């Protein structure tokens, strides 16, 4: 049978074998955590604690700063040491973080009233997700409660749970699906109820047959369907995933809800389950520690705000010849300049990569590979030509803002042109030229 997929895409080496057989390990509680106020997309949270305050694990330490924002909770029990600027891994600049010194083992402050999703109304579920500070754990960190409160005129009829994990090296969603399948299904049911939809599909790439069968068993008897997808990067990109599963095309500049779909990551579904059944706010997440440069690649459950240094030491430290440390996977991940950078809610993996031969750049020979692999059907060479010549309006006319930054074009370019890197820059320039308005 032909597996569902999308047009374009590439097949980078998967390298999941490094860490896929390592069961989830709970990381020992860190001595100090650094919780960024910008731990989600949108407006940073506002601190409600000050230096010297004693906090419990799960206690609210910063509240949502606006509509697109999220609450923050203390990942450990201890004392607030300071609120100061630290290097933010995905914003790539110093940002305010609440630093908490741990003083004891966990003393939880849970959200009151627990139970399965049948005990909650749909409004209560959304409210609970908001109070638990849950954001998209796939990496985008978009506040989940906002996603679950679509405008009234948008009719949602389908929930898609993203278990594709197309990013090479990363195995955290895989381990969650193997070891926490029931929780994911419960979380999925809760999100379905919150949205008022009767259908949900869990999409998983076919390079994870064990996860597929495990999720099929767990979803047995419910109206949640598990679907195998062709293994191809970027299968897990929202628009490509929806197209593969349902052949619905998200309009340019639009969101999945424009075609009646909401997409959430499997980790997010699990976090929803924990918030409902255990009353636990989002203070920890699964992180894959992997890469050829790491001694013992593994999958850990770590508290938000744990330093990368600690994670790497826990995984046996780095080997000789390490060149870069990437937050996320190798296709879309961001490098960090030093190891004392804390993880955030969207950190799905830390990939330690060895040095590779320097790339030799050539002029573009118009081979068309970038056009062929672009999952958005753009012409990357053309966007690059326009952007590099500062014709940003032309680039946008030709779809610059539709670029999902998946990196497929740069991956296969024989001229080794840094296409995606340039597009990110061109987008930024275009937005600031337009007065910061998003288009």
Q: Which residues from 254-273 bind another protein, rule CB under 8 A?
A: 254
Q: Is 311 in the site for another protein (CB under 8 A)?
A: no
Burial environment of residue 150 by CB neighbours within 10 A (0 to 12, 13 to 18, 19 or more)? middle
Verify binding: residue 3, another protein, rule CB under 8 A. Answer: no
Q: How far is the CB of 290 from another protein (least distance, A)?
A: 12
Annotate 232-273 with three-state secondary structure.
CECCCCHHHHHHHHHCCCCCCCCCHHHHCEEEEEHHHHHHHH
CA 68, 73, 79 angle in degrees (round to 5)?
A: 140
What is the number of residues in the chain?
Answer: 439
Looking at 204, 229, 378, 396, which residue binds another protein (CB under 8 A)? 378
Q: Using CB under 8 A, which of the segments 50-58, 125-133, 277-285, 399-407 binds another protein?
A: 399-407
Is residue 278 near another protein by the rule CB under 8 A? no
Under the binding rule (CB under 8 A), the answer on residue 289 touching another protein is: no
By CB under 8 A, residue 153 contacts another protein: no
The whole-angstrom separation of Cα 214 and Cα 229 is: 15
- Report the nearest approach of another protein to the CB of residue 20 (Å): 17
Q: Does 413 bind another protein (CB under 8 A)?
A: yes
Hey, what are 215's tokens?
């999720």
- Measure CA 431 to chain center: 23
Q: Using only C-alpha atoms, what is the Rg of the chain?
A: 21
* # binding residues, another protein (CB under 8 A): 66
Binding mask 225-244 for another protein (x = CB under 8 A): --------------x---x-
Contact 76, 100 (CB under 8 A): yes
Name the segment binding another protein (CB under 8 A); options: 77-85, 203-211, 269-277, 319-327. 319-327
Separation of alpha carbons 329 and 79, rounded Å: 33
Q: Does residue 249 bind another protein (CB under 8 A)? A: yes
Please, are residues 36 and 14 in contact by the beta-carbon 8 Å criterion? Answer: no
CB-nearer residue toward another protein: 194 or 331: 331
Nearest to 240, CA basis, from 256, 226, 227, 253: 256
Among 68, 217, 359, 433, binds another protein (CB under 8 A): 359
Interface residues toward another protein, by CB under 8 A: 7, 10, 12-13, 168, 239, 243, 249-254, 318, 322-326, 330-339, 351, 353, 356, 359-360, 362-368, 371-372, 375-379, 381-382, 398-399, 402, 405, 407, 410-416, 418, 420-421, 424
């Amino acid at each position: 049978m032909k597996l569902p997929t999308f047009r374009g895409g590439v097949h980078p080496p998967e390298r999941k074998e490094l860490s896929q057989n390592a069961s989830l390990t709970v990381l020992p509680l860190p001595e100090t955590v650094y919780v960024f106020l910008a731990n989600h997309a949108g407006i940073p949270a506002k601190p409600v604690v000050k230096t010297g305050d004693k906090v419990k694990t799960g206690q609210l330490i910063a509240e949502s700063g606006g509509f697109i924002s999220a609450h923050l909770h203390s990942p450990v029990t201890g004392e607030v040491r300071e609120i100061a600027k630290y290097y933010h891994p995905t914003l790539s600049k110093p940002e305010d973080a609440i630093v908490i010194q741990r003083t004891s083992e966990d003393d939880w402050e849970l959200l009151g009233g627990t139970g399965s999703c049948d005990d909650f109304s749909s409004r209560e579920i959304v409210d609970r997700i908001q109070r638990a500070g849950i954001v998209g754990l796939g990496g985008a960190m978009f506040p989940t409660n906002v996603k679950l409160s679509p405008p009234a005129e948008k009719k949602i009829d389908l929930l898609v749970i993203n278990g594709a994990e197309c990013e090479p090296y990363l195995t955290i969603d895989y381990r969650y699906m193997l070891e926490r399948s029931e929780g994911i299904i419960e979380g999925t049911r809760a999100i379905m109820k919150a949205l008022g939809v009767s259908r949900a599909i869990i999409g998983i790439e076919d390079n994870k047959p064990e996860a597929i069968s495990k999720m099929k068993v767990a979803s047995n008897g419910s109206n949640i369907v598990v679907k195998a997808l062709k293994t191809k990067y970027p299968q897990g990109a929202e628009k490509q995933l929806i197209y593969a599963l349902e052949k619905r095309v998200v309009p340019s500049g639009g969101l999945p809800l424009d075609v009646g779909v909401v997409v959430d990551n499997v980790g997010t579904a699990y976090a929803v389950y924990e918030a409902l059944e255990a009353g636990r706010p989002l203070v920890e997440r699964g992180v894959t520690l992997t890469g050829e440069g790491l001694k013992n690649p593994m999958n850990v459950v770590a508290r938000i705000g744990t330093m990368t240094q600690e994670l790497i030491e826990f995984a046996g430290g780095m080997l000789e010849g390490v060149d870069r440390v990437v937050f996320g996977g190798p296709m879309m991940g961001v490098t960090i300049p030093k190891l004392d950078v804390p993880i955030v809610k969207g950190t799905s993996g830390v990939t330690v990569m060895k040095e590779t031969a320097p790339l030799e750049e050539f002029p573009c020979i118009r081979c068309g590979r970038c056009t062929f692999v672009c999952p958005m059907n753009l012409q990357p060479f053309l966007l690059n030509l326009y952007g590099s010549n500062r014709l940003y309006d032309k680039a946008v006319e030709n779809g610059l803002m539709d670029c999902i930054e998946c990196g497929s074009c740069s991956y296969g370019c024989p001229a080794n042109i840094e296409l995606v890197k340039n597009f990110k820059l061109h987008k930024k320039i275009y937005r600031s030229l337009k007065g910061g308005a998003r288009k």
